[in-house]
Chains A and B, each alone.
Chain A
Amino acid sequence: MHPTISYLKNKNLLWQANHTQSIDNGQHTGFNELNKALQGGFPEYGVIDIRSQLGIGELRLLLPSILTRQQQRQTELVTLIAPPMCINSEMLAEFGFALDQVMVVQPSLNKQVLWSTEQSLKSGCCHSVILWHASLSVTQVKRLQLAAEKGRSLLFIIRQPQQEHISLPVTLGIRLSPSKVGIQAQITKRKGTWSNGSFNIYMGAYWPELSQSEDTNVLAFPSRVCRTG
């Protein structure tokens, strides 16, 4: 082999098609289908671009892995930046999050959103940051990527699917669409591998009520929960 090529290979700068190594150090997402598609799980740190409508389970898809991260790094924070609506603390607490380790940042200006994200990422005291943001440029994502590497933090950017279609330099890109059993996902971008089409993720294990099997349209008789104060 040419010495330059072997040098590049050693430096991990060269990628070969037969070189789809399975990433074992990835963190399990809590969903088998997603783990399989990602060959392990979400990366340890970096930027993950998630394109999804609101309310189809996009946040719930992330919660198990973020909870795992929180348990591993107990002194650090989960930061939610510019959520579109008021975050329901009861849901977070019920899922197992310690609420004093959750920080919600709601900046008033668009410019401040990215600033807060960058600060949180590179501070080294946030293991995960979730950002709801509409438009991002390539340079902005690169900056966030560097900040995430510096603070060894994982950034999830959740944005609407119809927004601009330029390819952003993210570690992982996922497109989500609604599905009856849980959520339908398609890996649009991932370092080192090909996309293998869309697949369904079953979420019934965590939220049986928010998952319907595809074939049955019959509603089970509602179990009546009555509460009076």
Chain B
Amino acid sequence: MQKIWLYVYFPNLQLDALLQQNPSSNLHTQGYVILDEQTNQVCQLNHAAYQAGIRLGMGLGTAAMLKADLQVIPYQQKITKNRLNDIAQNLYLVTSDICFFNDNGLLLQVHNMLNLYGNLTSYWQVVQQQLLGQQVHFHYATGHSPLAAKLLAITAWDQITDNIQTIKRAILQASLQHTDLTVKAVKKLQRVGVHNMQDLLKISLADIAKRFDIEVATYIGKITAQINHPVSFFHPKKSFDRFIELLYDIENIQILQAPLTQLLQGLELFLKTRDLLTQTLVFTLSQRDEKSIELKVHSQQGEYLAKSWAVLISLKLENITLSAPVFAIRLIVENTYIRTPDKSDLFAGNQGRLSRLQLISLLQAKLGEAAVSSPTLTNDYRPEQVIQNAEGLTKAIQPFKLYALRPSFLLTPPQLLQEKVSIAFGPERIETGWWDAKPIIRDYFIARNQLGQWYWVFKTPKGDWYLHGVFS
């Protein structure tokens, strides 16, 4: 089978990521460049900057001279990598073999996907559709070897073909600057009169190996598919982890909602395509010059919808204050599980807007987890030990014998009885707990005070009277 590779080159990943975050920003009109601080060269630029005459690889000084109001953003590999990863995740839905090349390109193995899609045109239509949905700039090209496809994509060839002759002709047009050869190697070649690929490919591989570095020979061998080029393919991660860098620092919680919504929509897509649900989201809000805030949002019922999460998050956000502006947000979702459809009764009617678990999540998000509880029982005679409030709702435990005549409210701890009461029922002796640190010997009585309130009082062996409960 003839091998065909498709290379997609993303020249402006970081700028695209910023634009996607802030659709209303002035990225369209204002000149923006991304500057690689290590080499002091422009590595990404938008259309306005290009029109001003700025080109890739220019120094900051030159660029600034060409356009006075130029906005410069430092290059951050992390953002580019993250964005590329997202794109790969999305492409994985339609094509299987994806390989990362540098920080700004993806290589797709086409020939084994043609069985599924029939021909190259229909395959490209599907891939293109996915790419257009990502709102990124891209150039593409097919090639008979990975490096050939890459070279053509970088020269913005933008053609899809499986005709080797066409591809080879296109390669001959390419200049050496676009190749993967080092600057030193290119200079060396230029000194001997080799200025473009056409000149270079005229020379036989054996001669190149003799006269130039092994690196040049390998490159030529790989590009002409004479040497095998091993690639390692991408496997999508099981968990969701996304980092977004904000275009400008955010100090207001309200404004923070917009980038959060964007993250949530990404999560929704991720979970929906895999038919998964999750219960916990962990946001890390990186604050400038301050410790970052970790925001854990919990839902009792598994959710994937961005809408449902947004409600819980806005409640959580009410309780936090930003001590410094936020410049980046990261969302990690570690545990997911397969969705099982809720079986609800069609005929029950009058079904609420929320399920029980959703209501509990809502209350817990606003009031804190400890504020919502469900009473539980422990098999013990001591009234203090019997009641234990569990957070959230718990399943009923094994039934055991319960004693009648227990008050509705308990005072924790019991207080000394301060008023005159008349005994209505009792005593009921509870003498237990000798095996642990809290033994009790008490005679319990039901008593009524002068105001007609029903009390649960007890007498200790010393003769002290305590009020322990109220029969409301």
Give A183 Cβ to nearest chain B Cβ, in Å.
Answer: 9
A124 neighbours in B (Cβ, 8 Å): 350-354
Interface residues of A in 86-105 (CB under 8 A from B): 86-94, 98-100, 102-105
Interface residues of A in 204-229 (CB under 8 A from B): 207, 209-210, 212, 219, 222, 224-229
A119 adjacent to B376 (CB under 8 Å): no
Interface flag for A40 (CB, 8 Å)? no
Chain A positions 79 through 122: 1 when the CB is less than 8 Å from some CB of chain B, otherwise 0: 00001111111111110001110111111100010011001101
| Shortest CB distance A130–B (Å) | 10
Contacts A86-B409, A90-B377 aside, 11 further interface pairs with beta carbons under 8 A come to: A85-B411, A88-B407, A89-B377, A91-B406, A99-B377, A99-B394, A106-B373, A107-B371, A116-B366, A119-B359, A209-B424
With A53-B451, A85-B470 already in contact, the answer to whether A123 and B354 are too (CB < 8 A) is yes
Q: Is B347 an interface residue (CB 8 A)?
A: no
* A120 in complex: contacting residue of B359, B408, B430, CB < 8 Å: B359
In the bound assembly, the distance between CA atoms of A53 and B472 in angstroms comes to 9
One digit per residue, 1 when the CB lies within 8 angstroms of any chain B CB and 0 when it does not, for chain A 178-202 equals 1110000000000000000000000
> Which secondary structure dominates chain A's binding surface?
mixed
A169 CB within 8 Å of chain B? no
- Looking at the assembled complex, report how far the CB atom of B299 sits from the nearest CB atom of chain A, in whole angstroms: 14
A94-B433 Cα distance, complex, nearest whole Å: 22
User: Contact residue range for chain A?
Assistant: 35 or more
Interface flags, B390-407, vs A, CB<8A=1, else 0: 000111100000111111
B359 in contact with A99 (CB, 8 Å): no
A112-B353 in contact (CB<8A):
no
Q: Is the CB of B359 within 8 A of A108?
A: no
Q: Is the CB of B356 within 8 A of A90?
A: no
Q: Are B453 and A227 in contact (CB under 8 A)?
A: no
**Chain B residue with the shortest CB-CB distance to A62:** B472
- Assess whether B406 is in contact with A94, with CB atoms less than 8 Å apart: yes
Task: Give the residues from 120 to 174 in chain A that come closer than 8 angstroms, CB to CB, to chain B.
Answer: 120, 122-126, 151-152
Take A100-B374, A106-B373, A229-B432 as given contacts and tell me if A57 and B362 are in contact as well, using a CB distance cutoff of 8 Å.
Answer: no
Write the nearest CB–CB distance from A106 to chain B, whole angstroms. 5
B412 close to A (CB within 8 Å)? yes
Number of B residues near A (Cβ < 8 Å) is 66
**How far is B376's CA from A23's CA once the two chains are assembled, in angstroms?**
37
Q: Does residue B50 face the partner (Cβ distance < 8 Å to A)?
A: no
Which of A59, A99, A106 is close to B472, meaning CB atoms less than 8 Å apart? A59
A49 within 8 A of B: no
CB proximity of B423 to chain A, nearest CB, Å = 7
Question: What is the distance, in angstroms, from A127's C-beta to the closest C-beta of chain B?
Answer: 10
Report yes or no: B372 in contact with A99, Cβ–Cβ below 8 A.
no
The answer to whether residues A210 and B359 also contact, given A115-B366, A227-B430 and a CB cut-off of 8 A, is no
User: Of B102-110, B126-134, B261-269, B381-389, which stretch is located at the interface?
Assistant: B381-389
**When chains A and B are docked, how far (Å) is the Cα of A104 from the Cα of B364?**
12
- The distance in angstroms between the C-alpha atoms of A163 and B412, with both chains bound, is 26
Report whether A91 and B393 are in contact in the complex, using a CB–CB cutoff of 8 Å.
Answer: no
Nearest-neighbour CB distance to chain A for B462, whole angstroms, equals: 19
Of the candidates B409, B452, B454, the one whose C-beta lies within 8 Å of that of A85 is B409
Given contacts A84-B409, A119-B359, contact A222 B425 (CB under 8 A): yes
